[in-house]
Amino acid sequence: MNLELFIPEMSLAAFAIAVILLDFFVQRKGVLAVISLLGLVVSAGFTIAMWGGSPQAIFNDMLAVDSFALFFKLLFLGIAALVILASVDYAHKLAHFQGEYYALVLLSTLGMMLMAATTELISIYVALELTSISLYVLVGFLKDPKSTEASLKYLLLGAIASAVLLYGMALVFGFSGKTQLGQIHGAIAVTSSTDIMANPGLILGIVLLIAGFGFKVAAVPFHMWVPDVYEGAPTPITAYLSVGSKAAGFAIIAISNKLDSDLIQDFSG
């Protein structure tokens, strides 16, 4: 197991924990933003150092490390850095919870980085929930009625979407016998269109997967939660939701078509 390929994620997780711990001891909370930015820079440095290497898989092929994944990791890190910079002006509204705020931004970024590298259903779900749970809390951070309402709606609808997504994954696994995206693609590719149409369970699983992902990335017609959540969330988090979550969803969609896309193959080296 090449754990050194997982260093960008491990370093970001370490900085998230460090921000929470330092929040107990640091009086000047602005230092926490600096440390968070430093964590993003360190993770980006490790990511850039891996650029140009041969594609590899880690954790029993659950995560892939290639140029495509590294590109999206750098994109997410850059987005998070802009969010933290924009959040400095919100410091006076965060009261005594600035450490938690910055740590949750780092953890949600970690989830997005994992989504960019995942090649397997279980790791997709874990990464997606790590991102989603962090965002549920961040949306309600202002603690006013509008922010609390937005967070509650996002949580309830997100829980339903997660259940739909998980049920779709269970059906796809049950009828294909695989959790690896490439293996699922291969199993479907060797099946004739007649056999697929005679397998409604597999079709239902794919439909539920699309519906679950559609909610997470606010794709039509699963975008009903967007106005309330965007209005109630802190402005930097609204920007984060509108850009980061969609980029993460695009990464998953692109990875699911990796075997068919010449463009993605070029990205992967």
The DSSP secondary structure of the chain, one letter per residue, reads --GGGGHHHHHHHHHHHHHHHHTTT-S-THHHHHHHHHHHHHHHHHHHHTTTSPPEEETTTTEEESHHHHHHHHHHHHHHHHHHHHHGGGGGGSTT-HHHHHHHHHHHHHHHHHHHHB-BHHHHHHHHHHHHHHHHHHHTTT-SHHHHHHHHHHHHHHHHHHHHHHHHHHHHHHHH---BHHHHHHHHHTS-HHHHHT-HHHHHHHHHHHHHHHHHTT-TTS-TTHHHHHHHS-HHHHHHIIIIIHHHHHHHHHHHTTTT-HHHHHHT-
Residue 164: pLDDT band with limits 50, 70, 90? very high
Calpha distance 217→78 (Å, rounded): 19
Whether the CB-CB separation of 86 and 236 falls below 8 Å is answered with yes
pLDDT surpasses 90 at 142: no
The pLDDT tens digits for 30-65 are 899 999 999 999 999 999 999 887 888 888 888 888
Query: Looking at residues 136-164, what average pLDDT do you find?
Result: 88
Task: Write down the pLDDT at residue 20.
Answer: 92
Percent of the chain with pLDDT strictly greater than 90: 29
pLDDT surpasses 90 at 105: yes
Q: What is the pTM of this model?
A: 0.88
Task: Write down the pLDDT at residue 269.
Answer: 47
Measured in whole angstroms, the distance separating CA 62 from the mean position of its chain's CA atoms is: 15
Task: Write down the pLDDT at residue 192.
Answer: 55
Bridge partners for 57 per DSSP: 64
Task: Write down the pLDDT at residue 56.
Answer: 85
pLDDT surpasses 60 at 259: no
Residue 268: pLDDT band with limits 50, 70, 90? very low
The pLDDT tens digits for 78-94 are 999 999 998 887 766 77
Query: Looking at residues 109-117, what average pLDDT do you find?
Result: 91
Calpha distance 138→2 (Å, rounded): 33
